Amino acid sequence: MCGIFGYVGNKQQAADIVLEGLKLLEYRGYDSWGIAVKQGKKLVYEKHVGKIGDAKINLPQSALGIGHTRWATHGGVTEKNAHPHMDCTKTIAVVHNGIVENFQELKEELIEKGHKFISETDTEVIPHLVEENLKHEGFSSSVRDAFNLLKGLNAVVIANAVSKEIVAAKTGSPLICGIGDEELLVASDASAIVKHTKKVIFLKDNEMVIMGKDVQLLSLPEGKKLEVKPERITWSFEISTKGDFSDFMIKEIHEQPNVIRNIAENYSSQVEKLAKDVQRAKGTFFIGAGTASYAALAGTYMFSKIAKKHINTSVASEFNYLEDFLTKDSLIIALSQSGETIDVVEPLIRAKEKGCKIIAITNTLGSTIYRMADCNMLLNAGPEKAVASTKAYIAKVSVILMLAYSLVGQIEKARNILLKTADEIRRLLSKKTVDQIKTIAKALSKTKNIYAIGRGASYSSALEAALKIKEVSYVPTEGLAGGELKHGTIALISKGTPCIVFAPQDETYGSIISNAIEIKSRGGMIIGIGFKKEEVFDHFIEVKDVDSGSYMAQVVVAQLLAYNMAIELRLDPDKPRNLAKSVTVK
Ligand code: F6R
């Protein structure tokens, strides 16, 4: 949530460097944005409402600048509420990710001391607190003392025009500091830094970094100096750009065959190790949010079917209310693309307190969940930039599929299935199939509501299909288990109501086709996704049977449907309204 970027170095184009960084971070929030740069002993800024797009800025040459792209929490979407926020003297500027829970009382105290507030945000207390502290101490300790007063989980980047420094500090939300050649950068995501340098420090919670002529790392509570141990980013800048594709979402959909292939070819030993943990545990739980929770649900079905083992699944935000029966022998497998989702972090904190073992399956090296875990499995799907998750879903399900087979000593079988699945997805991405999908997307984009049904592991495909369609096309779509239709929702089917039916070659086939017939006899329009054309289907997209890999291939069809509906409706598939990638607030 919210993208943060900062630059201090020997180049005079700080404003352009920050703007370019913000463009790469815009997927994290895009209702407004702003940049501040040092000019003499002051900071000057520009703020705008809306997406950055091809915006140009009109700020002076400078070697120090910070910027922010916002997903509003406190205060409406206005220029005044856009970051950076300044102190009264315009020497301090702050960009912030998180929520200052005690901002109201801090603001009242600061107003009493004569500070003038311009915005309705919680953030604005921070520059004024720093300004107040600067009256009696240096910059870094002013920031530290101010930051230690904030309640909640926060990440800030603070510029000082007088000391020519930037300080970044965090108790939550990611911050990565890049160490370049006579320049230092800080950002919410390594993909915004990698063009400048691959040498980075992933800030841990309760750490702060002082960036000036050199870089210093300090612990936030005590101000103790910490050793700087940079890590190297292993992927290249090109991976985090659109390349020849018009949008990140379609680029990421196309990357999926390679993502699966990579897991099939390189994950056997990691998966086998993980399987041992699952075998040892007395009670294993998958948790995740949104798309990750549907990957978890697909996993539960796969474990039951393939490994004959029950794994509990919970939406992460609900897991807190189910945690009473956790013991030190419980195993929690947290699924998260970003590794930052607060709804996943919170139950993990509690599970850790109970002594449970935590395994993280994430796509982000150094992320909060990555660091909290006892064991990690990185998806290595490359940066996922479109807000709607695609390749991370496929990567998570691939790992879970391998894990399920590994538990019954059939990892080779899993690898073969994954390789076949990658080929089938490649076929689905061919012009022929995509053209068919585009025709259906055109019809669907004109409808008021859509239903998606599946049974067994395809139930999770139905939920994921509905989520993808909702978030990028805004057409209300409900995903449900085929058997549930007759318990209420069938009342909503009338002439022409579209229903996507996932009908793979498995034990659910007969029953799901019966459900399709029930919908059809009430006038519904059936879009069948499966291995065989049936008379009941008004439209049909063939997904060849690739064993349990079919549950992934059929989701790719839904991703393509959702994407093409967004294009048909002239919507931006990468940045759906009201959403942000990486949800770090509750
Ligand atoms: C949907 C989507 C979200 C995320 C959810 C969890 O397309 O992207 O539902 O899946 O916010 O995010 P991560 O996986 O980063 O924890």
pTM: 0.85
Residue 73, pLDDT > 90, answer no
Q: Whose alpha carbon is nearest atom 6 of ligand 1?
A: 289
Same domain, 404 and 537: no
Does residue 586 lie in a domain region? no
Protein residue with its CA nearest to atom 3 in ligand 1? 290
> Which of ligand 1's atoms lies nearest the C-alpha of 362?
14
Distance 395 CA to ligand 1 centre (A): 13
pLDDT at residue 582 above 80?
no
Q: Are residues 198 and 293 in the same domain?
A: no
Same domain, yes or no: 517 and 547? yes
**pLDDT for 235 beyond 80:** no
State the pLDDT at residue 28: 85
State residue 545's pLDDT score: 98
Nearest CA residue ID for atom 9, ligand 1: 290
How does DSSP classify residue 307?
A: I
Q: Residue 24 domain-assigned?
A: yes
Q: Would residue 448 show up in a list of annotated catalytic residues for this protein?
A: no
Tell whether 235 and 337 lie within a shared domain: no
Q: Tell me the pLDDT tens digit for each residue of 133-172.
A: 999 999 999 999 999 999 998 999 999 999 999 999 999 8
The pocket around ligand 1, CB under 6 angstroms, is made up of: 289-292, 336-338, 341, 344, 388-389, 467, 471, 582-583
Residue 349 has pLDDT above 90, yes or no: yes
Query: 103-117, 364-378, 503-517, 542-556: which has the minimum mean pLDDT?
Result: 364-378
CA of 414 to the centre of ligand 1 (A): 26
Task: Judge whether 464 lies within some domain.
Answer: yes
Residue 330 shares a structural domain with residue 279: yes
Planar angle of CA 223, 224, 229, nearest 5 degrees:
120
Residue 581 lies in a domain: no
The Å distance, Cα 563 to ligand 1 centre, comes to 16
- Ligand 1: atom nearest CA of 582 is 15
Task: Round to whole Å and give the CA distance between 317 and 505.
Answer: 33
| Residue 2 known to be catalytic | yes
Instruction: Quick: pLDDT tens for 261-297.
Output: 999 999 999 999 999 999 999 999 999 999 999 999 9
> Which tens digits make up the pLDDT trace of 441-497?
999 999 999 999 999 999 999 999 999 999 999 999 999 999 999 999 999 999 999
Cβ neighbors of 328 (< 8 A, separation 6 or more) are: 354, 355, 356
Predicted local confidence at residue 237, as pLDDT: 78
What would the mean pLDDT of 126-134 be, rounded to a whole number? 98
Q: How far is the CA of 339 from the centre of ligand 1 (A)?
A: 10
Evaluate the omega torsion of the peptide bond into residue 573 and state whether it is cis, within 30 degrees of 0: no
Q: Residue 524 pLDDT > 90, yes or no?
A: yes
Residues 398, 375 share a domain = yes
Q: Which one of 2, 177, 356, 499 is the catalytic residue? A: 2
Query: ∠ CA 544-545-548 to the nearest 5 degrees?
Result: 135
Question: For 548, which DSSP code?
Answer: B
Residue 226 has pLDDT above 80, yes or no: yes
Residue at which a domain ends, from 209, 239, 269? 239
Mean pLDDT of the residues in the chain? 95
Look up the CATH number of the domain holding residue 475: 3.40.50.10490
Distance 23 CA to ligand 1 centre (A): 20
Long-range contacts of 148-151 (CB under 8 A, 24+ apart): 148/220, 148/221, 149/102, 149/106, 150/100, 150/101, 150/102, 150/106, 150/126, 151/100, 151/101, 151/102
What are 185-210's pLDDT values in tens digits?
999 988 899 999 999 999 998 999 99
pLDDT of residue 108: 97
Nearest to 169 by CA among 212, 220, 132: 220
Out of 428, 446, 473, a domain closes at 428
Pick 41 or 74 by higher pLDDT.
41
Residue 394 burial class via C-beta count within 10 angstroms: exposed 0-12, middle 13-18, buried 19 and up: buried
Residue 534 C-alpha to ligand 1 middle, in angstroms? Answer: 34
Which residue, by CA, sits nearest to atom 10 of ligand 1?
291
Shared domain for 360 and 267, answered yes or no, is: yes
Residues spanned by the domain of 55: 3-239
Among protein residues, the one whose CA lies closest to atom 7 of ligand 1: 388
Last residue of a domain, one of 428, 457, 490: 428
Question: What is the helix (H) or strand (E) element at residue 343, kind and residue range?
Answer: helix 342-353
Q: State which of 28, 319, 341 you would mutate to test the pocket of ligand 1, scoring each by most atoms of that ligand within 8 A of its C-beta.
A: 341
Q: What is the CATH number of the domain that holds 226?
A: 3.60.20.10
Residue 265, number of CB atoms within 10 A of its CB: 11
Residue 585 has pLDDT above 90, yes or no: no
- Which atom of ligand 1 is closest in space to residue 291's alpha carbon? 10
Residue 515: pLDDT band with limits 50, 70, 90: very high
Q: Tell me the C-alpha distance between 491 and 530, whole Å.
A: 25
* % of the chain surpassing 90 pLDDT: 88
The verdict on residue 583 lying in a domain is: no
Q: Which of 38, 198, 396, 581 is catalytic?
A: 581
Residue with tokens 């920050």: 18
For a ligand 1 pocket test, name from 28, 249, 338 the mutation site with the most ligand atoms within 8 angstroms of its C-beta. Answer: 338
pLDDT of residue 584: 73
Q: What is the pLDDT of residue 240?
A: 77
* pLDDT at site 550: 98
Q: What is the mean pLDDT of residues 373-378?
A: 93
d(CA 179, CA 161): 21
Average pLDDT over residues 419-444: 98
Total domains, the chain: 3
pLDDT over threshold 80, residue 238: no
Residue 585 within a domain? no
pLDDT score, position 404: 97
